[in-house]
Amino acid sequence: MLYPLKFTPILKERLWGGTKLKDRFNKPSESDITGESWELSGVPGDVSVVAEGPLANRNLNDLIEMYGADLLGQSVLDRFGKDFPILIKFIDAKQDLSIQLHPNDALAKERHNSFGKTEMWYVMDADPGAQLIVGFNRDVSKEEYQESLEKGTLLDLLNYEDVASGSTFFINTGKIHAIGAGVLLAEIQQTSDVTYRVYDFDRRDKEGNLRELHTELALDAMDFTKKDDFKVSYPTAKNETNTMVQCPYFNTNYLELDAEVTYGPAANFRIYMCVDGAATISNQEGVATLVKGETVLMPASSDFVKIETKGCKLLEVTV
């Protein structure tokens, strides 16, 4: 029964969102401000539901209850229990996102009974001149940072990065950051929805209200030092597994394929995000099609994973 599993996207309207998720990836949205498509989520209240096949309409938590280690892998079950450890998204930033950061595991557990939020970004497309904010442009003190918030000069302290298709960034907890306008990206992160927003350009929501800021919570969670630890360089050899990110929470590989490949069994589940082209992906229980902007979960019980394509780029995510 554990065939390649595709899930119904969970679409999120955001003040800064646009229409690229609908226009380019055919996400089922009628909104002009769809900012996020949650592709695979175990976040309470937003648990992914299987889109097709015999397990259609079952949610991810149901599958974990039913199949346990056959779905996740025994080491994942031992480490995380029945909590799915990864949240997979596509993000369309028509406008700049708020300046924000995420707490580490200890703070998130203490304050929110949640995982922390370590994440990575793979830029799929970027308008000319598009940028990301990642970290400070120099070491700052807590007092200097607070003064910049009061004076409205925070942007002068931040580090801006130009981006293009394929640019990849690793965002560890505590690092101040923001996705800039005109960026379409894939995001891989710990299962968490805890964000500390520190500056939002004084924007108002559709009711005319300023969005909540988390100024005090952010102070204890923030890393005020300048660190050049966020740009990810990775090989791009065709029809090979190219390592991008390895961290305690997830491992991500880049696959650029133009021929059939078959991978043997693995100890844990594998996730494939299609960031360009199209493919079919199968195991001993079934087959799924995968086009740009789609995601599939391959169960740990897969005896093999076969990918057939005339050309695609995939992100392979494991734990």
> What are the residue numbers of the active site?
197
CA 225 to chain centre: 24
* Residue listed under structure tokens 């409205």: 152
Q: How many CB atoms lie within 10 A of CB 252?
A: 24
Q: How far apart are CA 148 and CA 128, in angstroms?
A: 29
The response to whether 214 counts as a known ligand-binding position is: no
The response to whether 177 counts as a known ligand-binding position is: yes
Which amino acid is residue 89, in one-letter code? K
The response to whether 102 counts as a known ligand-binding position is: yes
Q: How far apart are CA 212 and CA 181, in angstroms?
A: 21
* Under 8 Å between Cβ of 107 and 221: yes
Q: How far apart are CA 178 and CA 186, in angstroms?
A: 14
Cβ density class 21-34: b for 16+ within 10 Å, e for less: bbeebebebebebb
Please, which residues have CB within 8 angstroms of residue 305's CB and are 6 or more apart in sequence? 262, 263, 266, 270, 281, 282, 283, 298
How distant, in Å, are the alpha carbons of 88, 165, 186, 243 from that of 256? 20, 14, 16, 12
**Binding-site residue positions for Zn(2+):** 102, 119, 177
